[in-house]
Amino acid sequence: MNRKCVALGLIILSLAACQKAQQSSDISPVVPANNPEIADGNMIVKGQWITEVNGDVMLDPQTSGLTVWKDKLISLSDRSADVSQRMQLHVISPETAQLAPGTMAFTLSDNVKDSCFASYIQGNPDLEALVAVPDESGVFLTITEDASDHKGLSEKCAAQFGESGSVEYPFVLIRLEVQDDDSVMMTHARPLTFAASFNLGNFPNDGIEGLALGRDGQLYFGLEKDAGSHARIFTTRITAETWLQEGFIAIEDTQVKLPIFKHGNHPINALEIYEREGKEYLFAAARNDEKLWLVDLAGQQDTLIIDLDFYAPVDDPDEKCPAWELMANGSIEGLTIIDDTLWMVNDPWKAVYLSNIQCEQNRAKFEKMAPLLFSLPIQDAWFTQDSDAR
């Protein structure tokens, strides 16, 4: 791995001279011959610890999504988070990485309480991904993933929703709406159905981890892996009529050109949509291998892979530990965009997160499974390749 560009500094994000996009050596490379700005090397991304109002780092939120509302970053937690972090929205300042005071706790509407999914949703659902709905301030979408330890659907509900084309307990899309008292109501819940030809398999904890929503209501779903262990991107159109119905939402395949890796696990753990010069793209995060994917939604160009190195700040640096330490695993699971800056938040992956401990100054933070907030300016070089070269 190229370390020549590691530079010490006091800024939150630094782009050094050799920070370029590159193709993974694990796949047949896409050679950007006509673009001198694409070369070997990883992009350096420096983070901020997310902190409470009192200055303490955030305790084990297991962050599963990131979006923007009222110029603030909004996240939520999955079911494996500390109990104090579950079933609520977290408001984060992009300038300081500090959490807003107060709690935006979830409640259930009568409609959701009466649905087939009430017992799961009102318990400890595995909420993954979060996206704000354009032009509906305070409205968000999230989705459930792993329900393998839930008792399952009732006999009546199983007859209606038991065959989803994927997992036994279907993935459920949930509409959230902020109330006047800052609570967040789960107003509607609808399950997803996939064609058998999509070959999804039954992987409850390797399901949908990313959501991205365009202004036209086109919603995109990032799937960790299908029966062939390949990541997938699906889509459907969301309108006001979507929430007036109660049955399955039918999902379509996008047919975008995703990379096929020869080795290892390369899931999609977060999605965000981006428009540039009239074209739409998706950014996707691959948590296992410190990569961003840039996906052409028109399906004309191959996915560009951007290798990243994540750095955590070190308090009281010394000779052994400089101001920034390279993380062994960044575990990105939330993406969103403000203007032309890509914001990323990590989900401290309990199986590997402690491998980040190198400096004693950060030991307690990593042991608390504290997350970091990262930002990365979107680069012109990512979009200037000829279609024949991508």
In this prediction, residues 198-223 reach a mean pLDDT of: 96
Residue 181 in this model has a pLDDT that exceeds 60:
yes
**What percentage of the chain has pLDDT greater than the value 90?**
81
The domains of the chain, with CATH numbers, are 38-381 (2.115.10)
Q: Which residues contact 388 (CB under 8 A, 6 or more apart)?
A: none
Report the alpha-carbon distance of residue 176 to residue 183 in Å, rounded: 10
Cα–Cα distances in angstroms (integers) from residue 229 to residues 88, 147, 193, 232, 284, in the given order: 32, 20, 19, 9, 17
Weakest mean pLDDT among 47-56, 256-265, 353-362: 256-265
Weakest mean pLDDT among 6-10, 104-108, 149-153, 196-200: 6-10
What's the maximum distance between 2 C-alpha atoms anywhere in the chain? 66
- What's phi and psi for 198, nearest 5 deg? -70, -20
**Using an 8 Å Cβ cutoff, are 233 and 258 in contact?**
yes
Structure tokens at 356: 């980040």
Residue 41: predicted pLDDT: 67
Structure tokens at 266: 């390369």
**What percentage of the chain has pLDDT greater than the value 70?**
88
Confidence of residue 190 (pLDDT cuts 50, 70, 90): very high
Which residues of 93-228 form beta strands (DSSP E)? 104-108, 127-132, 139-144, 172-178, 184-193, 208-213, 218-223
Confidence of residue 273 (pLDDT cuts 50, 70, 90): very high
Confidence of residue 148 (pLDDT cuts 50, 70, 90): very high
3-state helix, strand, coil in the chain (%, to 5): 10, 35, 55
In this prediction, residues 349-372 reach a mean pLDDT of: 96
* H/E element, 111: helix 110-113
CB atoms closer than 10 angstroms to residue 101: 9
Residue 27 in this model has a pLDDT that exceeds 50:
no
Confidence of residue 385 (pLDDT cuts 50, 70, 90): low
SS3 of residue 351 by DSSP = coil
pLDDT tens digits for 290-315? Answer: 899 999 999 999 999 998 999 999 99
Query: What's the distance, Cα to Cα, between the start and end of the chain in Å?
Result: 23
